């Protein structure tokens, strides 16, 4: 099934070719479940892993996507961290100091900083409970419940923190 034309090389893009192998089907399924911002930033992030003179295989791309999504359940924060990491990495490449990525260590640093910013903002705004890695910060029970309900409305997984009273 002819889907469209490539905006770069103008060759035909066929949907049946995109899903010709299992990894391609799974990869397409992963992207179909992402929102526009996360999906776009994820594609740009995957490009940072692509070797200079060859393509990234669907199997490798799928593995990278799964590893990236496993870093956090906070997808808006992940989308922001991906955007920031890619912008910085692209600037490094422009300056001639950037190389092909081989792991997620830089993204982990950016994501940890982003989650820290979110935690600080939540504390300023509502004295809520936020978990970053294994560190738990708890405040007023009522405020914590309000924050937890808000996060669930956003579709985010919230770790329930037992009350220490």
Q: 44-52, long-range: CB within 8 Å, 24+ apart, which pairs? A: 44/82, 44/83, 44/86, 45/82, 45/85, 45/86, 45/107, 48/85, 48/86, 48/89, 48/100, 48/101, 49/100, 49/101, 49/102, 50/100, 51/100, 52/100
Instruction: Map out the domains of the chain as residue ranges.
Output: 36-126, 127-165
Task: Name 2's bridge partners.
Answer: 14
Q: What's the pLDDT at 9?
A: 79
**Percent with pLDDT over 70 in the chain:** 81
Mean pLDDT of 26-36: 93
More confident residue, 153 or 93: 93
Lowest mean pLDDT among 11-20, 26-35, 132-141, 155-164: 132-141
148 burial level (CB within 10 Å; 0-12, 13-18, 19+): middle
The whole model's pTM is what? 0.70
Q: What's the pLDDT at 120?
A: 85
pLDDT tens for residues 111-124?
A: 999 998 888 888 88
Q: What's the pLDDT at 100?
A: 87
pLDDT tens for residues 69-112?
A: 999 999 999 999 999 999 999 998 888 887 889 999 999 999 99
| CA dist., res. 73 & res. 152, Å (int) | 12
Average pLDDT for the chain: 82
More confident residue, 92 or 8: 92
């Amino acid at each position: 099934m002819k889907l469209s034309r490539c905006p770069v090389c103008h060759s035909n893009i066929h949907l049946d070719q995109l899903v010709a192998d299992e990894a391609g089907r799974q990869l397409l399924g992963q992207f179909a479940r992402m929102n526009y911002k996360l999906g776009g930033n994820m594609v740009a992030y995957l490009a940072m892993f692509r070797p200079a003179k060859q393509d990234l295989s669907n199997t490798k791309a799928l593995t990278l996507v799964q590893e990236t999504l496993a870093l956090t359940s906070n997808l808006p924060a992940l989308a922001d961290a991906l955007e920031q990491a890619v912008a910085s990495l692209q600037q490094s490449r422009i300056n001639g100091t950037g190389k092909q990525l081989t792991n997620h260590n830089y993204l982990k640093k950016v994501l940890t900083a982003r989650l820290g910013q979110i935690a600080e903002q939540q504390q300023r705004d509502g004295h809520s409970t936020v978990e970053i890695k294994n560190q738990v910060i708890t405040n007023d029970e009522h405020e914590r419940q309000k924050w937890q309900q808000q996060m669930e409305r956003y579709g985010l997984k919230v770790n329930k923190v037992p009350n220490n009273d």
